[in-house]
Amino acid sequence: MIYFGCDYYPEQWAQWLAEGEARWETDAALMAEAGLNVVRLAEFAWGLLEPAQDRFDFTWLDRAVEVLGRHGLKVVMCTPTPTPPPWLLYQSPEIRQIMADGRQQGAGTRREACANQPVYRERSRIISQAIASRYAQNPHVVGWQTDNEFGCHGSAICYCGECETAFQHWLQAKYMDLEMLNEAWGGSFWGEVYADWRHIPAPTQSAAERSPSHLLDYQRFSSDTWRDYHNMEIDILRATCPGHFVTHNLMSFFEPLNYYNLCAQLDFVSWDNYHYHGATPGVVAATHDHMWGILRRNFWVMEQQIGHINWSVYNPEPGPGFLRLKSYQGIGHGADGMVYFRWRQALAGSEQYHTGMLDHAGRKTIGYEEAKVIGNELKTLAPYLEGTVPAAEVAILLDFESRWAMTMQPHNALLRSGVAPDSVNPSPIMRVDRDERREDQQMTGNAHAMWPFAAPYIALWERNVGAAIISPDSDLSGYKVVCAPFLNIVRPAVAKRLAAYVAQGGTLIIGPRSGFKDEHNKLFAQPQPGPLAALTGSTVRYIDSMEPERLNVLRWNNVPHMHRTEVGIWAELLEPQPGTETIAYYSNGWYANEPAITHKKHEGGGQVIYVGCMGGPDLYANLWDWLLPPLHVQPPLAPVVGVEVCVRAAPDGRKVVFVLNHSSQPHAMTLAHPLTDLLTGETHQRSLALKPHQVVIFQEVAATAHA
C-alpha cells in the first residue's frame, strides 16, 4: 500500500476561521476528493493538549480524528514534544537550551528545550504517554511520528549545566579512568590533562580553538542525548500501541545528529523534502537514497513541498508538473508514503508564505489539482510496487563522525558544512546538474553539507545507475562497488570490514582525506591513509588545500577514453607502493607529474582505487565509465540528458522502472522492446517521446534501451 496524504492542523483552522470546527468537514471532504488516505496530526499541539500542568484536553483532537475517519482518512499521530507549552517554559525556564556563546534560547518558538533537563524529559514522558494511551485503540490511527525534526534550528547541541554534568558522566562511562581519557585526547597539548571528571567543561565558545578530541566526544554525547530521548518516546509507543508503526521525520543530509543511531529503533524513517536553493534533482535523489540507507528499508516523505516555501534564499513557485514529478521521484527511490506539507497556507505564525494544497483563502492550488491526479494513479500503481525496494549495485558510504571531524577542522572554508553561498567564492568543481540535468547550480546551503558525496553520486545518477548511501558499518557483501568518498575517521572495525570486502572480490574506491584520523579525532602516527594504507597500496606524502579559483588538471595514464578532468579544493600527492599502478597524475604547479589516483589489484579479484583529489561529477564520470562495464553494472535504460531513470525491484525479479523528465524540454528515447505505461495504459513500441516534466512508469524492461 502507498500512503498518500497531507499534514493538517485542525486546531489552527478552528481558531482562525469564523466557521471554526465546521471547516474540518469541508477539508476532509476535499482531501478524500483528491484521493488522500492519510493525515498527519498534532506534532506542535502540546500547549493545546495540556493547557495547564496535568490538565489534558484531547476532546478537540478526538473530534478531528473522527471527522477525518468518516471520510476514509487514516491518521499518523505525533508526540507533540518539539513545542513545550508556555506554562512549562515559564514555570521551569531552566529547561531552555544554552548556546555555545552562553545565551539562553528564547521562549515562544519551537525546539527551545534541552533533552538533558529532567523537568523537560519528565513532562515529555507524561504527554507522550497520555497521547499514546488516548489513541492506542482508535481505529483511525495507524502509526506515530515521534517529535519533529530533531536538532533543527541549531538545537542539536546544548551547553547548560545539566549537559555539562551529563557529559562528564558519559565520559566516565566511556573511558572508565582519566588516564585513558587523557591519552585518548592527547592532553599533553596545551597541558589539558584532567585530574578530576568535574574539571572537564562543556566546550563552549572560546577565544582559541578547542581540542578536536574534546569536540568530537561532545558531538557524540549530544547525538546520544537525543537518541536516548528519542528511544524514551519510542519505548512508550511500543508498549502502549504495539499495533502501530513508529517513524520520525528527518532532514536532508543533516549533519549534527548520527541518524543511524537516532533511528535504529524505528520501523522506518521519514524525511522532509524541500527544494531549497541548491536542491537540484540529483541532490534530492541522493537524499532519498540516503534515507533508504539509514535503515536499509523503504521510507516515507512526511513533508513534501507543494509550491513555494518561506525560508530559503529564494522561494520561487515551481509551477505545473512539479508536484507530480517530485512525488514519483520519491516513490521511485523507495518512498512508500507521500505526505504533502501543508494542507492550507497558514494565516498566522512564521510560515505564512509557505503555500499548501489550498492557499490562504482556501482556494485549490496547482498542487491540489496535481495531487488529485496522483491519488487516482496510485490506486493502479500500488499493487505493482508491493514488495519492491530501490535497486542498487553500488554503495556510497556516509560516516557521520567523519563529517563532524571535517566541520571541526575543515582546513578549507569550502568544506565547512552549511557554508553560506555568499560567504566564500565557490569552486568551479562544485557545480552540479549542468546541461539541463546539471542546471549549473552551486552546492550551497543545506545542499553543500552533502558535497563530498555529491560528485560520485551525481555521476552515477546521470548514468541511471542506482546507488545506496549507507553506513560504513553496514553489510557490504551485496554491492559490486563500494565508494567511500570521505572517510576521514577510520575506526578499526571499519578498516577490517573494508579489507574483508576487498578480499571477497569487491571493488572499493577510497576518496581524499580518508584514514587521516583515528576514532579520537587525532592523526595516526603512520602516513595517511593510516590503517587503509595496505589496502590502497599508497600513502600520502603532501596535501594542498586550494583556494576556490585555483584548479589542477589530471593527466590519465593507461586508461582509455578519459576526458579532461579539473580538480580543486583538495589535492593529495600519493606515493604508490610496489604493485600499485598510478592511473592519473597532476598536470600543473609544483607537483606536476605527481600521482593523484592509484589502482591496486588484490588476490581474489578485489581492487582498490585511491582518489587523492577532489573533483566534480566529471571526475567520477570518468571512473565509472572505466570501472562499471567490466563489472556488468548496467543501467535499465541508456542515459539521456535531462531524464532520470530509477528502479524498484522485488526478490522474484519483478522491476518497476520510473522514467522522469526533469527538463523543461521534450526528450526522445529509443527502446529495445515495447513497454506499457502503468499510469496511462499507453503502449510505446520502439520509441518513447517524453514531454517536459513527464513521468512514465512501466514494469520490467527486457533489455537496455538505446537513446
DSSP for 443-463? --HHHHTTHHHHHHHHHHHHT
Give the pLDDT of residue 446.
54
The reported pLDDT for the residue numbered 463 is 95
Phi-psi region of 206 (alpha: psi -120 to 50; beta: other; left: phi over 0): beta
The contacts of residue 70 (CB under 8 Å, 6+ apart) are: 28
Whole-angstrom distance, CA of residue 462 vs CA of residue 129: 47
Helices (H) and strands (E) in the chain, counts: 19, 30
**616 or 68, which is more confident:** 68
Catalytic residues: 149, 303
705: pLDDT strictly greater than 50: no
Residue 425 is classified by DSSP as P
- Beta bridge partner(s), residue 191: none
Question: According to the model, what pLDDT value does residue 594 have?
Answer: 98
Highest mean pLDDT: which range of 228-237, 270-279, 435-444, 680-689: 228-237
**Would you place residue 676 in the very low, low, confident or very high pLDDT band (cuts 50, 70, 90)?**
very high
Cell of 273: 523534502
Name the percent of the chain in helix, strand, coil, to the closest 5: 35, 25, 45
pLDDT at residue 432, rounded to an integer: 62
Q: What is the pLDDT of residues 511-543, one digit of tens each?
A: 999 999 999 999 999 999 999 999 999 999 999
Reported as a pLDDT band with limits 50, 70 and 90, residue 312 is confident
Confidence (pLDDT) at 439: 45
Q: What is the pLDDT of residues 13-45, one digit of tens each?
A: 999 999 999 999 999 999 999 999 999 999 999
**What's the confidence (pLDDT) of residue 418?**
57
pLDDT digits (tens, 9 = 90+) for 362-421: 999 999 999 999 999 999 999 999 999 999 999 999 999 999 999 999 998 888 765 554
- 9, 32, 162, 485, 595 from 391: Cα distances, Å: 36, 33, 46, 21, 35
pLDDT at 638 over 80: yes
The pLDDT > 70 percentage for the chain reads 94
| pLDDT at position 487 over 50 | yes
pLDDT at 274 over 80: yes
pLDDT tens string 158-200: 999 999 999 999 999 999 999 999 999 999 999 999 999 999 9
Spell out a b/e string for 598-623, using b for 16 or more CB atoms within 10 Å of the CB, else e: bbbebeeebbbbbbbbbbbbbbbbbb
pLDDT > 50? residue 146: yes
Type of residue numbered 104: Q
Pairing of strands 74-78, 481-484: unpaired
Residue in the block written with cell 527486457: 702
Do the Cβ atoms of 112 and 103 come closer than 8 Å? no
Q: Say yes or no to pLDDT of 442 above 50.
A: yes
Residue-level pLDDT at 101? 95
pLDDT over 60 (residue 435): no
> Which has the closest alpha carbon to 541: 498, 482, 586, 492?
586
Instruction: State the Cα torsion 473-475-476-478 to the nearest 10°.
Output: -160
Mean pLDDT of 238-266: 97
